[in-house]
Amino acid sequence: MIVLKAWEEIWKKEEEHALWLEPDPFVIALVPLFHKEGIVKILDIGFGLGRHAILLTNERFDVYGIETSLTGLEYAIKWSKKEEMALKLIIGEMAHLPFNDSSFDLIVAWNVLYHGTTNYIQKTIKEIERCLRMDGYLLCTLISTKHTKYDLGEEIERNTFVIAEENEKSHPHHYFSLKEIDEFFHEFILLKCVDLEQYNAGCFHWHVLAKLTSNYKE
């Protein structure tokens, strides 16, 4: 899997870790809401080095995680052991989640869902819908059409680009407009949806908190 190879190379380089060890302020700010809403069981898709899984476990949630990178998994396991935490972390991919229906109160997919073609992303969203309980929450980011790298490289399908010479962008990235978010996540109510810069100027990502509508599973 190309995504796996790209992130394996990133996670093997210690100098690349700094950006991915601190939980995002957007996620931190939502923790009180998650407690208020009675969230207990959380899945972190593409947990990377484990920053949000660690944060949420520290906040007394029951956290599971799935990741394509073995190096990322090993790092997160070592980190969790150092913190004396019990995380349930496995290797796998987001379009084939090995969990039962309605397993989770909240699914987190931070800087993950836009990696792939339209078909692959839609399959992943269906898997998220399946694994969330009725009225469960999705917290995710989606790379924006305002991003400085939008329209660079080869457009393999509408709003999906490959930059062959760039390691992390050498696999498909789908860039989202607000209209597309509404289309892809039509089974959800968008509670928060803001286009914010991450890390660098022009690195725009949609920050989304959504709730699965109750009638989806009726």
Q: What kind and span of H or E run contains 74?
A: helix 70-82
Asked which of 57-66, 123-132, 137-146, 167-176 is least confident by mean pLDDT, the reply is: 167-176
Q: Which residue ranges form the domains of the chain, and what is each CATH number?
A: 2-217 (3.40.50.150)
69-94 confidence digits (pLDDT tens): 899 999 999 999 999 998 899 999 99
Query: Please, which pLDDT band fits residue 173 given cuts at 50, 70 and 90?
Result: very high
Question: What's the CA gap between 34 and 172, in Å, rounded?
Answer: 32
**What token pair was written down for 148?**
């400085």
In this prediction, residue 129 carries a pLDDT of 97
Question: What's the CA gap between 105 and 102, in Å, rounded?
Answer: 8
Sheet containing strand 188-197, edge to edge, reads: 88-91, 62-67, 41-45, 104-109, 132-143, 204-212, 188-197
Considering just the CA atoms, what is the radius of gyration of the chain in Å?
16
Query: Burial level of 218, CB count in 10 A (0-12/13-18/19+)?
Result: exposed
- The single-letter DSSP state of residue 185 is T
Under a CB-based contact definition with an 8 Å cutoff, are residues 159 and 173 in contact?
Answer: no
Amino acid at 206: W
Under a CB-based contact definition with an 8 Å cutoff, are residues 187 and 128 in contact?
Answer: no
3-class SS string, 3-67: HHHHHHHHHCCHHHCHHHCCCCHHHHHHHHHHHHCCCCEEEEECCCCCHHHHHHHHCCCEEEEEE
11-61 confidence digits (pLDDT tens): 666 666 667 789 999 999 999 999 999 999 999 999 999 999 999 999 999
Kindly report whether the global pTM for this prediction surpasses the value 0.85. yes
